[in-house]
Amino acid sequence: MSAPNTISIEKLVRLIGTSKCPILVDARPPNVFEADPHLIPSSFHCGFDEIADRVGEPGEQSAIVICQNGTSLSQGAAALLRDQGVPAEVLEGGFEAWKQEKLPLVPFAKLPPVDAGGRTVWVTRARPKIDRIACPWLIRRFVDPRAAFLFVAPSDVVEVAERFGGVPFDIENVFWSHRGDTCTFDTMIEEFALGTTPLLRLATMVRGADTARPELSPQAPGLLAASLGLSRMYSDDLEQLEAGMLLYDALYRWSRDATDETHNWPTNKPRA
């Protein structure tokens, strides 16, 4: 049984990648973090003395504080947040326990610099269809929940990224893009070390829909149809992204939890 105000690794694994994931704060001291500069997916590193300013206002999203072993540092930081009205827990066993379970860890070196608000900024072509919705979903659910996305004219992507401190993606001749016969979503999964079975299954679906190879996944044609439909429903790219987040939330939960489930009619057919 978990101690009061703590959360188990098993429970956190189920929350990461979903819209219900709390704010995850890696509060390891700088020297400890620099010795192993990796992050639990969707977490950000922050000195324990800065947490109160970085997490948010009372009554907003809850938080989980992570230190090296889940001991006094994270316990104290979480207690301070609770005193300020922010629901906060501590990860049992901390970073080391997560690492010992061989769960995904995002290399900090792969993360772009953050802006004044602590967000990564990503720039891509306007009028997204598949990859340019799938990648923002992956970033917000597993890398940086507060990430900002700028959709601009194709010819302006690189210049806007340079001027506004952003990272260009899903255009030719940049790091975060297609490689060979894979798409940008594949690149991000590889570079951020997020190759879990559910995400690799989803990546095959995205690749099939995005590169006109529906034979790669039985779900690829449906994803293509839904993506093109969303692009017709929304003239605002950010509104389309928000709608697409729900679509990929559903696809991820299917990939993680429901691939063996079938449906038939009638559901309660009496036996002969």
Residues 100-119: tens digit of each pLDDT: 999 999 999 999 999 988 99
Nearest to 129 by CA among 76, 206, 56: 206
Phi and psi, residue 218, nearest 5°:
-60, -25
pLDDT attached to residue 203: 98
Tokens of 77: 């930081």
Every domain of the chain and the residues it spans: 6-108, 111-257
Query: What is each CA distance from 161 to 81, 150, 154, 262, in whole angstroms?
Result: 35, 9, 12, 45
What's the confidence (pLDDT) of residue 140? 98
pLDDT band at 60 (very low <50, low <70, confident <90, very high): low
pLDDT single digits (tens) 225-259:
999 999 999 999 999 999 999 999 999 999 999 99
On whether the CB atoms of residues 7 and 242 are closer than 8 A, the answer is no
111-139 mean pLDDT: 96
> Is 223 within 8 Å of 251 (Cβ atoms)?
yes
Q: Is 177 helix (H, G, I), strand (E, B) or coil?
A: coil
Residues 6+ apart with CB under 8 A from 27: 45, 46, 47, 48, 51, 65, 66, 67, 73, 74, 77
Please tell me the CATH superfamily of domain 6-108, with its number: Rhodanese-like domain (3.40.250.10)
Q: What is the pLDDT of residue 272?
A: 58
Give yes or no for residue 130 having a pLDDT over 70: yes
Per DSSP, 195 falls in state -
Question: Which residue has tokens 């700088």?
Answer: 30
17/13 Cα distance (integer angstroms): 8
Residues 6+ apart with CB under 8 A from 177: 169, 170, 171, 184, 187
**Whole-angstrom distance, CA of residue 267 vs CA of residue 217:** 27
Give the pLDDT confidence of 164-210 residue by residue, as tens digits. 999 999 999 999 999 999 999 999 999 999 999 999 999 999 999 99
Are the C-beta atoms of 169 and 151 separated by less than 8 Å?
no
Q: Which residue has the higher pLDDT, 8 or 3?
A: 8
pTM of the entire predicted model: 0.95
- Structure confidence at residue 88 as a pLDDT band (50, 70, 90): very high
Side by side, the strands of the sheet bearing 121-125 are 148-152, 121-125, 167-168
Angle between helices 184-191 and 197-210 (to 10 degrees): 160
